[in-house]
A and B are shown apart, each in its own frame.
Chain A
């Protein structure tokens, strides 16, 4: 399943504060692991959603196998978990979303629309 362009950028513990918490724009963070089969099923769907979102929302990923501290900080109990941030504050989360573009689109846009 090689992908030509990665629309979901990786973020680490070092860059999390600057890319997520300090961002003035809506940010979606996927807490995932490359060994997680459900994350793998979600990956092409998330790529498509991220591509459609364009500059409207940033979609980033955190590999919890590498950044366990972030997983602990945000109480991640399983992967994949999507956490929506606005100006550094968590405004929503989707745990184990269905790998469908429609469902995922709703999951990642609704929390921000409710606030608008």
Chain B
């Protein structure tokens, strides 16, 4: 926890292939920093209590829904703001991160673009093979449906909530099955 107090912690969903690739890239980038690793990258994991110990306001469901960066001062950055702060902490992208602070008529246009790009990427995750990234947004559902059908040809079972479960009446199935273990 000492490390956690001195450096930002980037939480990533280790069940999501896209998130793992990004986390690996961040880890690799921090290694090239001559001043030593400037960011701690860690998976969200499975324990809500451990997360709450790192920050009392951190909710595991939120952590899985979007990117979270825990700052040493106890604050949290999320979504595009977390991406900008991460880039600010990496030696290769520090120069680029400065642009996110540029203000034009009181707004931060580059930060707004980054927020938009992050939202699109987050929405796309279920389509890119992340089975733990929730139900895709309405605009992506036809594409998601198609990819699921294609995947079903190769893989018989999927462990993701489907939209049908949100609308169908709860089905209580009595079962006499017993399992021999």
Question: In the complex, are the beta carbons of B15 and A35 less than 8 A apart?
Answer: yes
Question: In the complex, are the beta carbons of B160 and A73 less than 8 A apart?
Answer: no
Which of B28-36, B75-83, B165-173 makes up part of the contact surface? B165-173
Given contacts A10-B47, A40-B61, contact A78 B159 (CB under 8 A): yes
Counting residue pairs across A and B whose Cβ atoms lie within 8 Å, the total is 127
Number of A positions contacting B (CB below 8 A):
47
Instruction: Tell me whether A64 is interfacial, beta carbon within 8 Å.
Output: yes
The CA-CA distance from A50 to B49 in the complex, in Å, is: 18
Interface range on chain B (Cβ under 8 Å from partner): 35 or more
Interface residues in B149-175 (C-beta closer than 8 Å to A): 157-162, 164-166, 168-175
Given contacts A34-B61, A35-B15, A80-B161, contact A6 B48 (CB under 8 A): yes
**Residue of A17, A35, A110 with most chain B CB atoms under a 10 A cut-off:** A35
Question: In the complex, are the beta carbons of B173 and A92 less than 8 A apart?
Answer: yes
**Majority DSSP secondary structure for residues of A touching B:** mixed
Instruction: Tell me whether B103 is interfacial, beta carbon within 8 Å.
Output: no
Question: In the complex, are the beta carbons of A36 and B160 less than 8 A apart?
Answer: yes
Smallest distance from the beta carbon of A72 to chain B beta carbons, Å?
Answer: 7
Collect the chain A residues with CB atoms within 8 Å of residue B74's CB. none
Smallest distance from the beta carbon of B59 to chain A beta carbons, Å?
Answer: 5
Collect the chain B residues with CB atoms within 8 Å of residue A58's CB. none
Interface residues in B104-132 (C-beta closer than 8 Å to A): 130-132
Collect the chain B residues with CB atoms within 8 Å of residue A88's CB. 178-179
Collect the chain B residues with CB atoms within 8 Å of residue A78's CB. 158-162, 164-165
Collect the chain A residues with CB atoms within 8 Å of residue B179's CB. 73-74, 88-90
Instruction: Tell me whether B44 is interfacial, beta carbon within 8 Å.
Output: yes
Given contacts A1-B61, A93-B172, A94-B171, contact A38 B165 (CB under 8 A): yes
Within 8 Å by CB of B168, from A39, A80, A96, A103, lies: A96
Instruction: Tell me whether B181 is interfacial, beta carbon within 8 Å.
Output: yes
Collect the chain B residues with CB atoms within 8 Å of residue A77's CB. 157-159
Given contacts A35-B15, A43-B61, A90-B179, contact A98 B169 (CB under 8 A): yes
Closest residue on chain A to residue B47 by CB atoms: A10
The CA-CA distance from A64 to B15 in the complex, in Å, is: 11
Given contacts A98-B169, A110-B172, A111-B174, 8 further A-B contacts (CB under 8 A): A33-B15, A37-B135, A40-B134, A64-B159, A79-B165, A80-B165, A92-B172, A96-B166
Query: Contact residues of B with A, CB < 8 Å?
Result: 13, 15-16, 44, 46-49, 52, 56-65, 130-135, 157-162, 164-166, 168-175, 177-179, 181
Query: Contact residues of A with B, CB < 8 Å?
Result: 1-3, 6, 10, 17, 21, 33-40, 43, 63-66, 68, 71-74, 76-80, 88-98, 103, 106-107, 110-111, 114
